[in-house]
Amino acid sequence: MYQSKWRIFTNHTILILGALFMIMPVWIAFASSTHTREFIFQNGLQFWPGGHMIDNYGAILFDPSATKGRVTALEMLFNSMVLGLGFAIGKVIISMMAAYAIVYFRFKLAVPLFWVIFSTLLLPLEVRIVPSYEVVANLGLLNTYTGLILPLIASATGTFFFRQFYRSVPDELLEAARLDGAGPIRFFIDILVPLSVTMIAAIFIIMFVVGWNQYLWPLLMTTDDQLYTIVIGIKQVYNSLYEGGQIPQFPKAFALTIMATIPPVLVVVIFQRMFIKGLVETEK
């Protein structure tokens, strides 16, 4: 499509301004995280990086006292990673299998069951959080990774997406596989899963970020500092900024925030590539 120079210029100006607007707070948080706390306290937020990046980030990563708890940022990052991965992988697996059952097996209640699953979209975690907590507590799973992940991995959204995808797979593939002697499990593993790679990548990206950003559930579930996720850690650090009559630890709080954003960004960047590559390859 032909575009005049003037139009390209305005389009880009708007886009660049928008991007700057979005990125600026993150940049200021990053720049401010590289100064000493005294400097920030005296001079306010900083636009240019200072010389204490290694000190601040090192402290927050490896020194439990910097995060006001008994756990370092590195451990919290690990916890978040376990939650994010478990959440995303669990959701992908469960929703793929649920959708497989709904689409490919003719059982009486398939359609109503699908709508029951689908209607749970209307009930966010917050609605069922008290009974969920009760169940997990009775199972003795408080303060465990299992308890953190398991109650969250049923996914109506994922089931819905995979259902739509499976319905678009030509029936002849199933028939050809049946003639080739593939049973239901073989067909799922050999044919459907490889065909779903791009769907898996897309849902994995979304679910990882959602899982990583979970706040309320880990907050309820974990009373033990050792299981704190980084999102809770941030909250904890900001809560205790003004405690104890010391100069507030703004730079370290900012450093923790910046670190919390890195893994989701990486996941999006890496899987986005796979996602697009997959799309290009299958459509060719």
Which letter, b or e, does each residue of 189-221 get, where b requires 16 or more Cβ atoms within 10 Å of its Cβ?
eebbeeebbbbbbbbbbbbbbbbbebeebbeeb
> Which C-beta is closer to another protein: that of 2 or that of 105?
105
Please give the radius of gyration of the chain, using alpha carbons only, rounded to the nearest integer.
Answer: 24
Q: How far is the CB of 182 from another protein (least distance, A)?
A: 5
Report residue 33 as tokens: 């995280």
> Which C-beta is closer to another protein: that of 89 or that of 197?
197
By CB under 8 A, name the one of 7, 128, 178, 273 that touches another protein: 178
Q: How far is the CB of 201 from another protein (least distance, A)?
A: 14
Check binding of 284 to another protein (CB under 8 A). Answer: yes
> Which C-beta is closer to another protein: that of 122 or that of 179?
179
Q: How far is the CB of 274 from another protein (least distance, A)?
A: 15
- Tell me which residue of 249, 261, 246 sits closest to 52, measured CA to CA: 249
Q: How far is the CB of 191 from another protein (least distance, A)?
A: 6
The residue with tokens 């497989």 is 100
Report residue 171 as tokens: 């029936």
What are the backbone dihedrals phi and psi of residue 149, each rounded to the nearest 5 degrees, phi first? -95, -50
Residues 6+ positions from 7 with CB-CB distance below 8 Å = none
> Which C-beta is closer to another protein: that of 13 or that of 282?
282
By CB under 8 A, name the one of 94, 135, 141, 195 that touches another protein: 195
Q: Tell me the C-alpha distance between 118 and 95, whole Å.
A: 11
Q: How far is the CB of 186 from another protein (least distance, A)?
A: 6
> Which C-beta is closer to another protein: that of 134 or that of 190?
190
By CB under 8 A, name the one of 176, 189, 216, 270 that touches another protein: 176
- Tell me which residue of 29, 62, 31 sits closest to 261, measured CA to CA: 29
Interface residues for another protein in 112-171 (CB under 8 A)? 170
**Binding residues for another protein (CB under 8 A):** 170, 172-173, 175-182, 186, 190-191, 194-195, 197, 282, 284
